[in-house]
Amino acid sequence: MPEFPGWDHSGEFTEAYRKAVRGRSRLSKRGPKHPPVVLRTGPEEAQQALEALELGLQRSSRARGIVPCTPYAHVDWRGGSRTELIARIAEQLRENAPDEAGRLRLPAYDLLRDVADHEAGTDAQLADRVFARHRGRTTAVLPTRDTTGPTLNAGFMTVPLRSLWSLAERLHLRLWELGWEWRLARRRRFRLLWPENYRGKRTYAAALEEFRRTWEAAVGTGGDARDADRWDGLLLTALMTDLYAHARQGLLHPGRRRRRPRHALLLNGTRPGPGGGDGGSTAVTGFVRLYAELQRHGPNAATVVVAALPDTHDAAPDAGTLEEAARRLDPPKGAIPTPYEVRLPRPEPGSRSVAVLPVWTPWVRLRPGRELALETGALAVALWLAGQLAWIPYLGSPFTDTYTRCLTGSDYVGRPASPGPKMPTQYADALDMIAEQNRVAETQGRPERTVTIAHVRASMAANEAERRSGGAVPELRGLALAQRSLHRLAPANDNGIWVRIKTYDAGVQFANAREVAAKIVREAKKDQHLVGVTGFTESRKETVEALRVLNSARIPIVSSTATAKAMEVGRYYHGAAPNNKREARVVAEFVRRANTVRTGSDSCAPAEGVAVVTDPTDVYSDELGKEFARNFRSTGSRIGYIPGGNSGVVVPNESDLDMKFSMSEVAEAVCGRVAGKRNTLVYWTSRVREFDNFLETYQSLSKCANRDLTVVGGNELTNAALSGGFVGKSWLRLYHTAHMLPAGHPDRSATAKAFHDAYTEEFTGSDLWLNDGHAALAHDAVQVLAQATSQANAAGVELTRPNVQQIVNSGSFDLEGASGRLRFAAGSLQRPLDKLLTVLHHGEDGSAPVLMCGDPGKNIDAGKEWRQGGTTYDCPRDE
């Protein structure tokens, strides 16, 4: 196996040569241009060096033995003209072209050779009649029509087959000429085949005439070296043009994709001639000179040229080194290529020669035919998949989820059999329970471990339905049950806490919340044992302003059911319920996957569109609607409605808000959305009073009366649904969220079970608000402040607001509550991390959970995914 001689830096040169031939990528191999490298050395060393470089241009094939990696020519030239050398190079390029890269076509070079052969009268591959048409020769004419031979009988006429063949031949020749005429006149890479000063019309006939003149001047008796240079330059330009075309990449042809390496020319001009002359050095030297001249302005043939010439006295006196030659084989972009010569004496004895590895080997040994067959099959599969995917929204596609049953629950929470005592009575009883526990704290509690928690509540609503669906009564009950639980444990625990709850009435819908907050601030200055504030069940502008007052006074706040992110006014605020951002993410994922919209008598499908109804002046409603629209893109414009009209209210000017000014307009807008786009549901973020009005208007005044309507709502609708609302509306499919697991659910924590047991014992198992989240969240809000106070006492610090706040904000506060786990971890100090959220389906038998996402308690493996049929979906997690 020949190896590259052991000159200095031989390894660097051979590696640079391999990289130059291999190319960095298929698209960059035609730039920049590589200069020819000339090795000035002896015949033996030259032969050894070029054979070693040729070895790098070959690779082994299991089926065909040794095959070329790229088209190359290794010419050991012993004598002859430069024209003959160019012909030999073209011949070897064809012989050494890899089969898998496709046939190496040299059309421009062949055209010039045909012109020369035709003029010389030897081996003209083009028919004489092609030239006769353009030169006006009378000795060569087009063949006459021959009517002899077989005929084709077409009924009413007889046509000789020979005439048809002659006509087809004429048509073929004409199309061939037109193709060449277009190339020579239009294609950019063929421009250099024309003389630089040519001013005539560039036609095929004119090109043939110019080629003929150039050849006759070169071979004529009066021709000189410049004429020979013009003809050889024309031949070489045509060859470089064809190699440039062959180097182009093609995505469809598998052979074109294999044309990654550059072409290689290895020319040995060190051999003496048969008669002892200079042999091939003159022709090779002339070729290198001519190639370098044409390379500057001609198309990049993607060719690497290495020539070997004898080290004679006329060689460049300042010849360089192989190290510099290696750098020249990696030229920068825009570099002007110039020949580079290296004088190489005989290697020193004992010098180590270098083996040249193949420039590339295929990763997958696959023939183009098989590759094309695989690609055809892959394309057919891709087209089939595209066709199936295009039909996904329609039935019959194998990719359509075949599970179409409507998503309903199994363990329904029944509605209360009797309403119980009147609402004002139950409200008063709940306040009495708190007062009783306050007396226990005053009489039995230790003063150093007794603290005060302020509670801000809204006045009871005047409307009976709103009283039933509101959270006033269950919230007060949750506070009282939290006090009772703490007071039972405190005597037996050295760090137990007694809690006084002082309630403040902030008026209807918290109209006086700011004034109440200012009053709490004044009292907190007098009482250091007032450790925090709870309440604030609704997210309204008034409650947000009140929270800012408390936060500025550095009083810890733990709200119960308020979910708006706008409530998170500062570091002193904490919420027991998940905020609207988390709720919107969970509900949007639920709506996108769950079979909620009825498509038939016994079938449903996921929502493709959602109509969001919101109140832009309500903090809770506006924020929840916007958050949902961010998570579910197919919502269109939100439908806005301000209860009581917009008198004195500035209507927001938002591009994605479609304001309506009466409930009948809202009903018509919802009807238009539901009827206009298939599988559309309503996401209701407004308050429950407006929802009752909407249902009556939708059924009585809209065009969609008695048509199935799916509505998904927040916990505003939960209270009304669990208290017996929406009964008798068979056309309504309702899903609503809740912030706790209903009684009897198997995934409840021990704390949740204990809370339900205590609530049932006190208020019976048929109570209206047994499964309402208000009581559990109010209970947990008190527990957060109480447990933080207990931990402060265990740490031996004073039971003051700063110490309580520091413990809650420590990043490690973790409490198992009745509504789920409350973990105020780092990065989630204002809301519990992955707080529990459930979605319930409301039916004739009550409400049943169909989704549970969040952390129900420590060491309970639930709330990470939800199921529909045989498919499970991951629950969104807090980031």
The CATH number of the domain holding residue 54 is 3.40.50
Question: 540 and 491, same structural domain?
Answer: yes
Instruction: Determine the Cα–Cα distance for residues 1 and 687; give it in Å rounded to an integer.
Output: 89
pLDDT of residue 523: 95
pLDDT of residue 252: 61
Is there a domain that residue 401 lies in?
no
Alpha helices in 490-540 (DSSP H): 513-526
Q: What is the number of structural domains in the chain?
A: 4
Closest CA to 782 of 489, 469, 534: 534
pLDDT of residue 396: 46
Range in 152-156, 523-527, 729-733 the model is least confident about: 152-156
Contact in structure between 628 and 683 (CB atoms under 8 Å): yes
Output the six-digit token pair for 606.
Answer: 């996921």
Q: Among the three residues 345, 361, 377, which one is the final residue of a domain in this structure? A: 361
Residues belonging to the chain: 879
Is there a domain that residue 151 lies in?
no
Residue 515 has pLDDT above 80, yes or no: yes
Residue 768 has pLDDT above 50, yes or no: yes
Question: 315 and 243, same structural domain?
Answer: no
pLDDT of residue 249: 59
Is there a domain that residue 876 lies in?
no
pLDDT of residue 644: 76
Instruction: Determine the Cα–Cα distance for residues 520 and 174; give it in Å rounded to an integer.
Output: 101
Q: Among the three residues 208, 227, 252, which one is the final residue of a domain in this structure? A: 252
Is there a domain that residue 173 lies in?
yes
Question: 705 and 627, same structural domain?
Answer: yes
Is there a domain that residue 87 lies in?
no
Question: 321 and 461, same structural domain?
Answer: no
pLDDT of residue 556: 95
pLDDT of residue 33: 86
Instruction: Determine the Cα–Cα distance for residues 288 and 294; give it in Å rounded to an integer.
Output: 10
Where residue 392 falls among pLDDT bands split at 50, 70, 90? low
Is there a domain that residue 508 lies in?
yes
Query: How deeply is 253 buried, as exposed, middle or buried, from its count of CB atoms within 10 A (0-12, 13-18, 19+)?
Result: middle
The model's pLDDT over 466-487, given as tens digits with 9 standing for 90+, comes to: 777 678 899 999 999 999 999 9
pLDDT of residue 137: 35
pLDDT of residue 430: 93
Question: 637 and 562, same structural domain?
Answer: no
Contact in structure between 412 and 848 (CB atoms under 8 Å): yes
b/e per residue 781-808 (b: at least 16 CB within 10 A)? bbbbbbbbbbbbbeeeeebbbebbbbbb
Mean pLDDT across 827-849: 88
Q: Domain residues for 672?
A: 581-738
Instruction: Determine the Cα–Cα distance for residues 717 and 549; give it in Å rounded to an integer.
Output: 30
Is there a domain that residue 549 lies in?
yes
CATH number where 601 lies: 3.40.50.2300
Q: What is the mean pLDDT of the chain?
A: 85
pLDDT of residue 134: 47
Amino acid at 618: D
Instruction: Determine the Cα–Cα distance for residues 715 and 92; give it in Å rounded to an integer.
Output: 83
C-alpha to C-alpha distances, 201 to 22, 186, 193, 205, 391, nearest whole angstrom: 41, 12, 14, 10, 56
Q: Which of 289-298, 364-373, 513-522 has the highest mean pLDDT?
A: 513-522
Amino acid at 233: G
Who has greater pLDDT, 834 or 117? 834
Where residue 302 falls among pLDDT bands split at 50, 70, 90? confident
Question: 34 and 60, same structural domain?
Answer: yes
pLDDT of residue 576: 94
Question: 512 and 439, same structural domain?
Answer: yes
Where residue 366 falls among pLDDT bands split at 50, 70, 90? low
Residue 202 has pLDDT above 50, yes or no: yes
Where residue 315 falls among pLDDT bands split at 50, 70, 90? low
Would residue 746 be called left, alpha or beta, if left means φ above 0 and alpha means ψ between -120 and 50 degrees? alpha
Where residue 141 falls among pLDDT bands split at 50, 70, 90? very low
Question: 555 and 664, same structural domain?
Answer: no
Interstrand relation of 263-268 and 72-76 (parallel, antiparallel or unpaired): parallel
Residue 129 has pLDDT above 80, yes or no: no
Question: 20 and 6, same structural domain?
Answer: yes
pLDDT of residue 139: 35
Residue with tokens 């590589």: 34
Question: 668 and 703, same structural domain?
Answer: yes
Contact in structure between 304 and 19 (CB atoms under 8 Å): no
Question: 585 and 733, same structural domain?
Answer: yes
Contact in structure between 319 and 39 (CB atoms under 8 Å): no
Residue 75 has pLDDT above 60, yes or no: yes
Residue 146 has pLDDT above 60, yes or no: no
Instruction: Determine the Cα–Cα distance for residues 251 and 100; give it in Å rounded to an integer.
Output: 15
Closest CA to 307 of 332, 279, 337, 286: 286
Is there a domain that residue 674 lies in?
yes
Question: 282 and 236, same structural domain?
Answer: no
The model's pLDDT over 608-662, given as tens digits with 9 standing for 90+, comes to: 999 999 999 999 999 999 999 999 988 889 999 998 766 667 777 888 899 998 9
